[in-house]
């Protein structure tokens, strides 16, 4: 951990830090840390060097400009056993085809982030190793006919390029807001796919019960249309996926969300009348009441921290960065992966205390254990 006298803090820019003595530049303190989990615990690819702002790769070719983003194209194959082949396409922020975003966990329910399954990219079949859960997700989403355009952060962003990574994370809110829908992949033990068959599709109020998480008897025992028993969502909400910090932004900003459980596709959007706020309040994810509504009713960063206090991220910086896209204030901080976790933790606390005048942020201190380089009072 850096000595207190040499923090050389500068983030976020709007916070008035005072340097009492000269200190080395911030680059001297950049430390390697576990790769950004993004949309899903999820980018556990090799760590980017703090000096890798211009790193290219055979997979990503050119660095994205400030007004560009990539989409992943999945094409129908002869059988489900065929290798996973994808291509990456670059589009401008204002000119792009219809696409879907994917929300999932990089390491799956068991947290296995081993890079062990090959995906073949481009005309020369360049190999990009993925985790078992990521590979299963790509196989599940592969269309039976034609092609499908999706955005998967771990693949569509060059994780080794710090500059591209920071810029793309800063506009993830726009990427999710502009997609047709977000597809939630909970794992191969939850989502069934039968060749030639299609899932039962229904809105959450018609096919789901919150079971024991609510005192409302009307939502726990009725049956869904067409004779299908309602799905008890309570145990599903306890899965590792729903503890991810990134899903708050992913699900709130998307125009529609689709969650497949078994052979049923559960749909939610901004017009979904059920479950209401009271019913969600009995769960570990009270923010789910705002799915597809673009914003939590209280838009300050401190309110977001309070509502997502139980969320987690493998990279401590992501607990903050995952929420920044939901803050409407123009003075809201922007993600910066060139900074070490300590600077982000102190910066978020300072922003809440000094810019939002919210001392209550200290009650959400994570009580970081000694030795990991973060103050115990950081949110």
Q: pLDDT for 135-162, tens place per residue?
A: 999 999 999 999 999 999 999 999 899 9
Distances (CA, A) of 205 to 28, 116, 122, 276: 53, 39, 42, 10
Same domain, 337 and 282: no
Domain-terminating residue out of 266, 295, 312: 312
Judge whether residue 197 has pLDDT over 80: yes
Length of the chain in terms of residues written: 379
Domain-terminating residue out of 272, 297, 312: 312
Which position has the token pair 């409407």? Answer: 328
- pLDDT, tens only, 339-356: 999 999 899 888 888 888
Residue 277: strand, helix, or coil:
helix
Q: How far apart are CA 53 and CA 49, in angstroms?
A: 8
% of the chain residues with pLDDT over 70: 80
For β-strands 117-121 and 126-130, DSSP reports them as antiparallel
Same domain, 152 and 198: yes
Strands (E), the chain: 68-75, 84-92, 100-103, 117-121, 126-130, 147-151, 181-184, 200-203, 208-209, 231-232, 256-261, 264-269
Judge whether residue 28 has pLDDT over 50: no
Same domain, 321 and 190: no
Instruction: Report the Cα–Cα distance between both ends of the chain, in Å, rounded.
Output: 17
Q: Check residue 133 and give its pLDDT.
A: 97
**Chain Cα centroid distance, residue 277:** 23
Task: Give me the long-range contacts of 325-331 (CB less than 8 A, separation at least 24).
Answer: 325/170, 325/172, 325/173, 325/176, 325/249, 325/253, 326/173, 326/248, 326/249, 326/252, 326/253, 326/295, 326/296, 326/299, 327/299, 327/300, 327/301, 328/295, 328/299, 329/299, 329/300, 329/301, 331/14, 331/355
Domain containing residue 360: 1-30+313-379
Identify the residue with better confidence: 46 or 190: 190
In the chain, DSSP finds a helix count (H) and a strand count (E) of 10, 12
Same domain, 129 and 259: yes
Number of domains in the chain: 2
Identify the residue with better confidence: 188 or 327: 188
DSSP 321: H
- What is the DSSP annotation of 80-98? TTS-EEEEEEEEETTB---
Burial call 305-334: b when 16+ CB within 10 Å, e when fewer: bbbbeebebbbbbbbbbbbbbbbeeeebbe
Same domain, 279 and 376: no
Reported confidence tier of residue 21, pLDDT bands at 50, 70, 90: low
Which position has the token pair 């997609």? Answer: 179
Residue 117: strand, helix, or coil:
strand
Same domain, 329 and 186: no
Same domain, 196 and 120: yes
Q: How far apart are CA 350 and CA 9, in angstroms?
A: 11
pLDDT average, residue stretch 357-366 = 77
Same domain, 78 and 191: yes
Same domain, 40 and 21: no
Burial call 128-151: b when 16+ CB within 10 Å, e when fewer: bebbbbbbbbbbbbbeeeeebbbb
Domain-terminating residue out of 281, 297, 312: 312
Same domain, 257 and 296: yes
Same domain, 367 and 297: no
Identify the residue with better confidence: 118 or 29: 118
Q: How far apart are CA 126 and CA 87, in angstroms?
A: 10
Question: Which tokens sit at 186?
Answer: 């909970």
Same domain, 41 and 145: yes
pLDDT average, residue stretch 250-260 = 95
Q: Check residue 262 and give its pLDDT.
A: 93
Please tell me the least confidently modeled range out of 47-56, 123-132, 188-197, 227-236. 47-56
């Amino acid at each position: 951990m850096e000595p207190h006298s040499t923090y050389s803090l500068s983030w976020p820019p709007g916070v008035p830090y005072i340097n009492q003595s000269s200190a080395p530049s911030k680059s001297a303190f950049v430390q390697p840390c576990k790769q950004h989990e993004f949309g899903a615990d999820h980018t556990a690819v090799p760590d980017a060097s703090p000096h890798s702002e211009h790193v290219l790769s055979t997979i990503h070719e050119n660095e994205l400009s400030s007004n560009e983003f990539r989409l992943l194209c999945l094409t129908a194959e002869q059988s489900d056993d065929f290798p996973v082949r994808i291509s990456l396409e670059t589009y401008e922020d204002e000119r792009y085809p219809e696409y879907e975003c994917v929300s999932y966990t990089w390491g799956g329910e068991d947290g296995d982030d081993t890079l062990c399954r090959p995906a073949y990219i481009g005309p020369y079949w360049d190999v990009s190793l993925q985790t078992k859960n990521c590979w299963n997700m790509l196989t599940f989403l592969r269309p039976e006919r034609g092609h499908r355009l999706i955005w998967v952060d771990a693949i569509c962003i060059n994780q080794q390029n710090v500059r591209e990574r920071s810029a793309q994370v800063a506009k993830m809110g726009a990427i999710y807001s502009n997609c047709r829908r977000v597809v939630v992949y909970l794992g191969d033990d939850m989502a069934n796919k039968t060749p030639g068959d299609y899932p039962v599709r229904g809105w959450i109020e018609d096919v789901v019960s919150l079971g024991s998480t609510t005192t409302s008897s009307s939502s726990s025992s009725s049956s869904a249309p067409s004779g299908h028993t309602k799905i008890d969502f309570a145990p599903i909400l306890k899965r590792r996926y729903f503890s991810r910090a990134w899903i708050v932004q992913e699900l709130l900003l998307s125009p529609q969300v689709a969650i497949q459980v078994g052979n049923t596709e559960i749909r939610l959007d901004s017009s979904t009348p059920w479950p209401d706020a009271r019913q969600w309040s009995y769960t570990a994810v009270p923010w789910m009441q705002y799915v597809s509504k673009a914003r939590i009713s209280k838009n300050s960063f401190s309110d977001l921290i309070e509502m997502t206090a139980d969320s987690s991220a493998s990279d401590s910086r992501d607990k903050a960065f995952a929420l920044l896209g939901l803050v409407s204030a123009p003075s809201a901080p922007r993600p910066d992966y060139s900074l070490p976790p300590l600077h982000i933790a102190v910066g978020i606390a300072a922003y809440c205390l000094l810019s939002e005048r919210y001392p209550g942020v200290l009650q959400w201190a994570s009580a970081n254990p000694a030795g990991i380089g973060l103050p115990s009072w950081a949110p």
